[in-house]
Amino acid sequence: MDSNYTAISKDFSVELQIHDSSPNPRSSQKTHIKIPSFDDENGFVDDPDDDTDVHPLIHGQNNNGSGTYGAVFNLTTTIIGAGMMALPATMKVLGLTLGFVLIIFIGILSEISVELLVRYSVFCKASSYGEVVQYALGRPARVLSEICIIINTGGVLVVYLIILGDVMSGSPHHTGVFDQWLGNGMWDHRKLLVLIVVVVFLAPLCVLDRIESLSLTSAASVALAVVFVVVCFVVAFIKLVEGKIEPPRMSPELGSKTAILDLLVVIPIMTNAYVCHFNVQPIYNELEGRSPQKMNRVGRITIILCIVVYLSTATSGYLLFGKGTESDVLTNFDKDLGIRFSSALNYIVRIGYILHLILVFPVIHFSLRQTVDALVFVGSAPLIESKKRSLTLTVVLLVCIYFGSTTIPNIWTAFKFTGATTALTLGFIFPSLVALRLSRQGEGLSVMERFVSWLMLVLAIVVSIIGVIGNIYSLEKSD
């Protein structure tokens, strides 16, 4: 079938006619699709009641993207990353019962916020997180949301490099894989080793300009994360049956000021583990045969998978190491696990997770690069059309991330601040505000949806304030 499209002006709303030369009379009818124009000052200036999904026409692309499972892998990869390594330490603080409940509760709220974001992105024809925020809340809110995305994604990528360095070269209290495997050598120079990984392995994947291109690496990264979870769970189960695990704490400890401070900062760390909202629109834009219903199915499958992975990791990691659980549980795997083939399992866990982070890194970097481009190069051609600008941004961002990883001491420090600020803002505050604001313009919320939106908004603000206060007090105490 041959189709001819009328050229679309950037500044004006036009009517697009699709002419079909097919002899079939049913297919020869004209289809009229109203394309809204987007203005940097006023947002979309066409009729918001028109909910036709037209992004492929706007971008001049065929709607042949990733399938449902490819989208699930990309979204799951966005969620399951370094945050998983901090969950056993949060379980140590919260206790098994409260930790178990919060992992499920936060996961459900996150999935609801993703569905709200998808619904109103389609409603206002937004192709990015920043655009839907601008449509609902104005240009300043968009700038704030993009700054939050940059801080959050940049912080996560810094954490990835910290973990890579910890596992490969070791840390002050733990031995690295290469030292255990090969003895002392050049790999003891942590900064040099991380730089080699960035240049040789990460940079080639980060230069790819479509997130769809990362579906296979995302699938491999999810598989490696599952290997990590299975090994942890099996080892914990064997030791539990053999009676080699000390009884875990079931509830949080509230007997000291230190314990209370830990409790204040641990919930934002847990919410940070679910933030994927900045990647929802890019994944939706490249979803084959896309619709809100199909993307919601992607989101639900993803959250169920992540909840299972997180519960297994947090519980088994805490059971294995108890009070000695580190903020990055991966560093605990330099000791004898107390079962047969302990050394081999340690290598499988740590090397497998190194590979997982290497494959996850470019997916998060994709959103970081897109957001920086949208914030800095306002009004420029799409990044996919400028290879030079894309390559320059990739190099600059990788350099900044590398130097950030050499200055931040550990992942707990990074997660507790981003979790209490940018993660809560992106995951819950902005989606709730967008839904509550745009529900007045024709796409209404049910009574339950409105209640949940207000609940997410209030809880996120309260947890954010408490988390920031707890972080400040914990810093003063450490000084």
In the numeric block, the tokens 């505000």 are attached to 433
- Residue 474: the pLDDT is 67
State percent of the chain over pLDDT 90. 22
Superfamily assignment of 66-478 in CATH?
Answer: Amino acid/polyamine transporter I (1.20.1740.10)
- Joined together, the tokens standing for residue 159 give 């954490």
Question: How sure is the predictor about 82, in pLDDT bands with cuts at 50, 70 and 90?
Answer: low
SS3 content of the chain, % helix, strand, coil (to 5): 70, 5, 25
Q: What mean pLDDT value characterizes the chain? A: 78
Side chain identity at 40, as an amino acid letter?
A: D
Question: How sure is the predictor about 64, in pLDDT bands with cuts at 50, 70 and 90?
Answer: low
The residue ranges of every structural domain in the chain are 1-64, 66-478
- Residue 323: the pLDDT is 85
Question: Which of 24-33, 36-45, 348-357, 456-465 holds the top average pLDDT?
Answer: 456-465
Quick: pLDDT tens for 410-460.
666 677 778 788 889 999 999 999 999 998 876 778 899 899 999 999 999
Question: How sure is the predictor about 21, in pLDDT bands with cuts at 50, 70 and 90?
Answer: very low
Q: What residues contact 127, with CB distance under 8 A and at least 6 apart? A: 55, 58, 59, 121, 281, 285
- Residue 3: the pLDDT is 43
Give 67's DSSP letter: -
Instruction: Please choose, from the candidates 56, 125, 51, 76, the residue with its C-alpha nearest in 3D space to the C-alpha of residue 287.
Output: 56
In the numeric block, the tokens 């003895």 are attached to 183
Quick: pLDDT tens for 165-212.
888 877 666 677 877 776 676 667 788 888 998 999 899 988 877 766
Rounded Cα distance, 187 and 210, in Å: 33
Quick: pLDDT tens for 357-414.
888 888 888 889 988 998 888 878 777 778 889 899 999 999 999 998 888 766 666 7
Side chain identity at 139, as an amino acid letter?
A: R
The pTM (predicted TM-score) of the whole model is 0.75
Looking at 78-87, 312-321, 392-401, which range is the least confident one?
A: 78-87
SS3 assignment, position 445: coil
- Over residues 24-32, the mean pLDDT reads 34
Quick: pLDDT tens for 30-55.
333 333 444 444 444 444 444 445 44
CA 344 and chain centroid, separation: 31
Quick: pLDDT tens for 123-150.
888 888 989 999 999 999 999 999 999 9
CB count, 10 Å around CB of 210? Answer: 14
- Residue 478: the pLDDT is 58
Looking at 46-55, 269-278, 336-345, 390-399, which range is the least confident one?
A: 46-55
Work out the burial of residue 441: count CB atoms within 10 Å of its CB; fewer than 13 is exposed, 13-18 middle, 19 or more buried: middle
Question: How sure is the predictor about 79, in pLDDT bands with cuts at 50, 70 and 90?
Answer: confident
State percent of the chain over pLDDT 70. 78
